[in-house]
Amino acid sequence: MSGVSLFPAILLDILGSAAMSVFALLALRYARLLSKRQPNNFVWGYLYYVTFAIAAFAISRAVGHLVKQFLLIAGRVDIWDTISPYSGGFNTLFIISVAAVMIFYHKGVQAYEVLEHEAGKLKTANRNLGAAARQLRDLNQTLEQKVEARTEELSRSEKKFRHLFSASKDMVFFSDADNRLVDMNDSGFEMLGYNREETTGLHFSHLFSKPEEVQIYTGMLERDGYIKDMNLVFARKDGTVISVLLSATAIFGDSGEMLGSEVIAKDLTKLKMMMEQLATSEKMASVGQMAAGVAHEINTPLGIILGYSQLMMDEFVEGSEQYQSLQVIERQTKASRKIVADLLKFSRQSGSTREEVNINEVVADVVAVTEHTLSLSHISLRLALEKSLPVITGDPEKLRQVFVNLINNAQYAMQDMGGGELFLRTRLQSGSRPVAIEVKDTGHGVPEKNQARIFDPFFTTKPVGQGTGLGLSVSYGIVHEHGGTIEVESPVQDSRQGMPPGTLFRIAFPLGNEGGQ
């Protein structure tokens, strides 16, 4: 007996189940788009949840049919018999969820209506308030115009004050009645090395390097109500000090009590340094003239003493007591002539040549001569030469002497530390002296009390017999003879953790024929 083929029915079931899943997902996507377009619309939100429940039921039922048909086609009826109860259970669960959503629909509608009613009352109240506000605005239009004009004037004044406060290159700050900082401009933070968070509530006395000046400051401010052009020394965060010229005005309340003060302070550190350098230059010029005269006067008798002592040595047996005494005279006379020669170099009375000089080549020559000695002293040399450095006009031999003196001083500064690092650097900089050379060591540094004297003739911290104190003086004279400048900075804290402070000599020369004659 031949039966009717089930293939069309099976195919129709498979296609229908697939179509059911596709349409369910499309309906769910469309409902999702509607709810996102109007997220506050209760109807669209409810429709989305209903669609979600129905789509879940449809997909569950469609998947069950597809799995059934494919298992029947594969001849695995036993698997279908095992999972069919679970498929039916999922279908039942999802249809119950559809029913639950439908059952609570009226509750949601009631809540939505209550919310709409309350929202309507709020809209009515808002309209009433708007009408009242318009009436009040019409009644006070003249007053508002006056207030607006006054506010705009105050705003312009505040902007001018704020711009003056923030753009000033001097330190400007305010303190309260307890002398605690309330506000400070960026120039003040830069001068003191603090950031804004660190100065919040900071007592004003922490800025004074000398505690006795705090009492003088507060006493004058309370007595006179102002301070004009007071010279003080402020302490920076890193422990260094700056010289400032301070003016302050007290702020008093209606009852006469002092509420605080407003202060302006100008940094005079660079100005004082320039004045000291000018005084040093004038002093060095006077000392140079005097040294030249003294050197010329001493040179002749020293030559005679040296000549006669050498002639007398011929009259005595070598090794005798008289011969050895004459050797001491000869040796000390030659040492004296060396000092005289250094004095002449310091006073620029010795001969000088003028030619184009490549500073990098001069530095390289000096390094080649001193590198071995530095290595024996366990000093590592760090060399950084600017490749595009232009030439200057000068005497290469004298310039070599400058760098040899600086390297010898650096080596002496590090010898009791068992070694260290020596940095030699050439670079370009802005200004009238663009060729810069820096020599830095990692020694103990130069004490502040000696920094103003290190270029003075015969000033030295070395033991007797180890230095004449003319090395830096001669170097100073040679640099200025070439139209350059030489500065010292000490101590210089190395950026690497644990490195000791050192001393930095910075030399700058003009280009070409701009140097001194």
Query: What value does the mean pLDDT take over residues 259-285?
Result: 72
DSSP collapsed to 3 states, 488-502: EEEEECCCCCCCCCE
- pLDDT category of residue 497 using cuts at 50, 70 and 90: very low
Note the pLDDT tens digit of each residue in 209-242: 787 887 888 888 888 888 888 888 888 877 788 8
Please tell me whether the overall predicted TM-score, pTM, comes out greater than 0.75 for this model: no
pLDDT at 488 over 90: no
Domain ranges of the chain: 7-103, 170-267, 273-346, 355-509
Res 296 pLDDT > 70: no
Between 336 and 479, residue with greater pLDDT: 479
Residue pLDDT, tens place only, 310-353: 888 888 888 888 888 888 888 888 777 777 766 666 555 455 67
Question: Closest by alpha carbon to 246, among 198, 209, 202?
Answer: 209
Comparison of pLDDT for 385 and 171, the residue scoring more: 385
Lowest-pLDDT range, 10-14, 238-242, 392-396?
10-14
Q: Do the two domains 273-346 and 355-509 of this chain adopt the same fold?
A: no
Look at residue 378 and tell me whether its pLDDT is greater than 70: yes
**The pair of three-digit structure tokens given for residue 258, joined into one six-digit string:** 């002092």
Query: Does the domain formed by 170-267 have CATH 3.30.450.20?
Result: yes
Q: CA 365 to CA 197: how far, in whole Å?
A: 51
Mean pLDDT of all residues in 459-476: 66
501: pLDDT strictly greater than 90: no
Q: What pLDDT shows up at residue 1?
A: 42
Position with higher pLDDT, 125 vs 499: 125
| CATH T-level assignment (fold) for domain 273-346 | Helix Hairpins (1.10.287)
Largest CA distance in the chain: 158
Per CATH, domain 355-509 is 3.10.129.10: no
Q: State the CB neighbour count (10 A cutoff) for residue 405.
A: 21
The torsion angle over the Cα atoms of residues 455, 459, 463 and 464, rounded to 10 degrees, is: 130
